[in-house]
Chains A and B, each alone.
Chain A
Amino acid sequence: MSGDTEGAVMAENEGKKALTRREFVVGMGGAGVGAVLGGIFVHGILLPDEIVALPASEGYLLVDTKKCAACQTCMLSCSLAHEGETSLSLSRIQVVSDPFAGYPEGPQQNQCRQCPYPACVEACPTGANHVDAANGNVRTIDASKCIGCERCIQACPFTPSRVEWNFEEKHSQKCDLCSNTPYWDQKGGPGGKQACVELCPLKAIAFTNEIPIQGDKGYFVNLRKGDATWLAFGFPDGDNAEYLSAPAAQAGEGTQ
């Protein structure tokens, strides 16, 4: 007796042919091919293109390059709060320093802008890079869902990319405004504290809940205005409108 006869799954009444195991598998395979081809047709032709609207982040980091001394404390605190180690390579905020550039172009703080239309989120094929509704719509990455394709790193329109590669755990990472800091016992996120803001010795990083006004060089930020330490050294606290904090710029302060 052949295997197929033994494996007959449906013995019909006399005069009708029994369905063999092999015929059953042929049917399953044919149904599978049909389902895949049908799915492509429905998805590709009948369904309209997907349109997604993402809510704006409820928090943003502001950096004032004119106050930055490139001490990298922000980088170390970021890495320590998130990864439990002081590694410049694991920081989500990046300070780049050009010793040959004149003031104030030397040190550049490169923080995630929490973009209203985040290309990094759009580029992620698995939803790992997402808008976290539970944490004030901050743009963040779920490491367990990251497949390491680096599309989000490439998609970030800024240089250097505000999404970095975590070479130790092999996934992308980005600023989450400290909403998930396993090694820092403070409430973070848009409604809490941020390690870099708290620890910057020159107060060159600040936090705001309002969407900052953005120009070619970044946000219009002036964190020197009203800073007693800054003024005590006799440094100028105002220049042109390019470097105003968002609320000040909106109020028309400091413009020349």
Chain B
Amino acid sequence: MGTRISIAITVVVIVALGVVMAVSAAVIVPMNAGDTSRTYDVLFNSRGWLVLAAAALGLLAGAFTRRPTVRIEDGIVERHDGVAIFEHWLHVVAVLLLLGSGIALGFLFIPRLVTGAHNTGVALNLHWVGVVLFAFSGVYYATNTVLSGRLKEHLAGLEDINVGIAHYRAQLAKSEPPAEGKFYASERIAYVYMLVALGLVALTGVVKLLAYGINMPAGLMGVVTPLHDVGALLVALFLIAHVLMGAVVPWSWPELRSMVTGKLPLEYVQQHHKAWYDELMGSPARSKENQ
């Protein structure tokens, strides 16, 4: 628990530093000494390299990360290890910064909420802070998830559509739910959705970032920007559904708690994640690290 608190404090400090950096860079100053022209610092322009450095650092850290196998102790199942919790909440901070600043700047049909160069600069620079965090967290997550072989437990198959429907039908009828795995079928379907949405945002975002240093064709930027916006809208819609289904509705509260503590009672797992429970009971839990 001490490690987790240390990591949480580190993340808070990094975000706070980022916010201070974003706000101070947006202060309007003369372009040159004695000039009537004014400007501010766009961090995407002056510190764009930090995004690439964060992604490379994420790759390194992800490669060095070892994920433990699921542990069962005293009737408690560790559903999420420390890495998963760290990644999830770092994603949350980054995505909230990105969506918040993106909405403030306005996109697609969403009106611009900020006015004036300074406020615009703050929003744009906060977007940069979100991008740096997400470049690290996204690449870190992707690297260690693929290397630890955990990707397959997140990805949905076609059969998950029927299981997902059966799950909510059972919930409405208060009948026996289908046997679910470690992640619900609906979670795995949402995962694929998010891979597409975030992939679209990330790919178009990279092109937008490169446009600060390379003279991109106008036609390409004319396609990339609306695609970036559509991806962001898909992420925003997911976030609403995710918070609603994962945090607001009472039956998800044990799962929400597990996103902080990592733990779920064994009885709860048996009741709600029957397939996973059978899998855990079938193969003895191991505490050694999974390579």
Contacts and interface: CB of A to CB of B under 8 A. Distances in A.
Contacts of A4: 147, 291
B120 A33 contact: no
A125 B120 CA distance: 14
Given A33-B56, A154-B28, A170-B112, A144 B107 contact: no
Contact of A125 (B44, B111, B143): B44
B221 A145 contact: yes
B117 to A, nearest CB: 4
Interface string A57-92: 000000000000000000000000000000000000
Interface residues of B, number: 49
Interface string A132-162: 0000000000101101111101111100000
Contacts of B222: 144
Interface string B269-287: 0000000000000000000
A39 B117 contact: no
Residue among A4, A125, A156 with the highest chain B CB neighbour number at 10 A: A125
Nearest to B51: A36
A39 B48 CA distance: 12
B40 interface: yes
Nearest to A26: B63
B38 interface: yes
Contacts of B111: 167
A25 B57 CA distance: 11
Nearest to A127: B215
Given A144-B219, A156-B37, A157-B37, 8 more contacts: A22-B63, A25-B143, A119-B31, A127-B215, A144-B221, A145-B211, A147-B44, A148-B105
A90 to B, nearest CB: 15
A123 interface: yes
A36 B148 CA distance: 27
29 contacts: A2-B291, A4-B291, A22-B147, A23-B63, A25-B62, A25-B63, A25-B147, A29-B56, A29-B60, A29-B61, A29-B143, A32-B52, A33-B60, A39-B49, A40-B49, A123-B31, A125-B44, A126-B211, A127-B211, A127-B215, A144-B221, A147-B208, A148-B106, A149-B124, A150-B116, A151-B121, A155-B31, A157-B35, A170-B105
Given A36-B53, A126-B212, A155 B37 contact: yes
B68 to A, nearest CB: 14
B212 A21 contact: no
The secondary-structure label for the interface of chain B is helix
Interface in B181-211: 208, 211
Interface string A11-36: 00000000001110110111111011
Contacts, number: 120
A127 B210 CA distance: 12
The secondary-structure label for the interface of chain A is helix
A3 interface: yes
Contacts of B31: 119, 122-123, 155
Given A123-B31, A125-B42, A3 B59 contact: no
Contact of A3 (B60, B147, B225): B147
A213 interface: no
B56 A36 contact: yes
Interface string B85-120: 000000000000000000001110001100011001
A119 B37 contact: yes
A26 B64 contact: yes
Contacts of B37: 119, 123, 154-157
A37 B53 contact: yes
Contact of B147 (A21, A126, A156): A21
Contacts of A153: 117
B291 A3 contact: yes
Contacts of A33: 53, 56-57, 60
A22 B218 CA distance: 39
Contacts of B9: none
Contacts of B208: 147
B52 A145 contact: no
A126 B216 CA distance: 9
B291 A26 contact: no
Contacts of B60: 26, 29-30, 32-33
B250 interface: no
Given A123-B31, A144-B225, A149-B121, A36 B52 contact: yes
